[in-house]
Structure 1
Amino acid sequence: MSSGDTKLSQVLLIPSSGMGHLNPIVRLAKALSDRGISISLLTVRPTITAAESSLLSSLPSSLLIDFPLAPFDPSLFPESSDPVTLRWEAIRRSAHLLPSLISTISPPVSSLIIDITIASTFLPVAVAANIPCFVYFVSFASMLALCSVSPFVPHPISTDVKIAGGVLKIPYSSVPPPLRDPNHLFTTQFIENGRALTLVAGFLSHSGSNSVMEAAAAGLKMLAWPRGGDHRVIAASVPRNGLGIWPENWAWEAEERVVAAEEIAVKVREFMADEKLAETAAKLGAAATAAVQEGGTSDQSWRYLITKL
């Protein structure tokens, strides 16, 4: 693939609302464009805040594609509902309009990048349209872990949340207050988006210990790209255990070499097409689940440790 080939199709980025979500995805769009990737940004206007409007106005108009929303009645929700959360819901309920819009875009859309807040409705649409779709999660891996397990924990959340058998613990005091209310719109969205993550077919990670353990626990294949510290040591365990791949020649923070966009694109396509890798990762996930059950190897290790304390 030459640099020119990347211009023959384009990536469509679909943000949600709120500067904390719009600003990062705009930066991502710029980073992709700077590397020769043709991009467009789906926009919903008018925006909720003046800051969002100002940010969009600063971008070349040729990059922006307006996305008319389906009819939405905010009065169906409590008056106290956050305007940004309501906008998320309006966008989520308009996902069915995406295919007809995409059909009018030229050059054709080769892949989507969607914000996590709208994943539950946009991911199935992308799957049905056979368009590769990437979920952009703007928070930390621990919050991603909380989102991914949210459909499987009791609600309302009233205690610490233990993930992957206690490998990660989210203290109750750190749980976002809306998640303590099962009837809150944010809670509904959070759970549905967490459930949609089961449609995710691959995980690109910096190979931090939390990320690798969470991918293994979820049975999700991983493309490891270490950035620094102990990441390369950890990344070596990814292919060794059949969890994923690690392109060892890719530069990290100790090196000045830049990995070309074409090289990344080729590797990502190979990674996503590797069904055997998906099967081995799923088996690892099943083994991890069994290990933390009563009588499993992890449970046995805990019991042994306790006898020595």
Structure 2
Amino acid sequence: MAQTIRVDGVRKWYGDTHAVDGVSFDVEEGEFFGILGPNGAGKTTLLEIMEGLRKPDDGEVSLLGMRPWPRNPRLLPRIGVQLQASSFFERLTAREQIRTFASLYGTPPAAADHWLEVVGLTDKADTRTEKLSGGQAQRLSIACALVHGPDVVFLDEPTAALDPQARRNLWDLLREINNQGRTVVLTTHHMDEAELLCDRVAIMDHGNILKSGPPAALVRGLDAPTRIGIETGTVPVDGARQLFPDAEVSDDGVSLTVSTRNPAAVLSALADRNALRGLAVRGASLEDVFLDLTGREYRA
């Protein structure tokens, strides 16, 4: 498939801090690509360089076959950008806001009103943006990024302020625009979001890409145990430790959990003892991959 984005050896320094330190990757046409990393990993800086909002100190970026920096007027109608912090024109209602964005691209007001409906803000159309909740402002920001039908969409933590229902609705919307052939580049702290939506992800830390690939492939490549849980009391803890000496057994008073690299044998032994009450089986996830690569220490 054709490359929509090519990042080659990109670097960005702020004094002694290497925010982006020699990053290279490609994003194919129609791909849903995720950039993951802890706070301060360089995700937003990298995204802004790709969007043409920030000049790289070294390396090259190609977006739709053109350089995004210096700011390229030919690219602006073809990309949609939702920034990490929402910023709107002052004293405008939600309807006036999105119609203003639409007018900048020659998009008719009816299309703008349609996007208010898509993100569930029709009932807030006459509310001034400073009166919107954080989640409502986030949804309006996303609608403004999509109102002109861009070929490439950049979303910086789009669901950070959304409740679970709004998150799920936005996931459906993002799948739909991606299924229409648009390329989507996403940064997020939600590993379940990346695992569900992204064709490929790149995990960053300290300005470097540590590993990239399809989420399922990254998970399969992690040497992690399978966690098998049953209801507490179904099997005594000491009995489970004797039964599964090569596994780690714990009990929190609600579930007895067996962490094992031989799940078939554990499940078979529990089934033989009719001890499957409350059974839950959990393999590794993208979150496990993320923590394995970036560590578990607190990041400010």
**Same fold, judged at TM 0.5 (above):** no
Greater relative contact order, per chain length (Cα 8 Å cut-off, separation 6+): 2
Range of TM-score over shorter length: 0.3 to 0.5
What is the TM-score of this pair, normalised by structure 2?
A: 0.32
Which is greater in Rg? 2
Of Structure 1 and Structure 2, the greater helix share is in 1
Question: What is the TM-score of this pair, normalised by structure 1?
Answer: 0.32
> Whose strand fraction is larger, Structure 1's or Structure 2's?
2
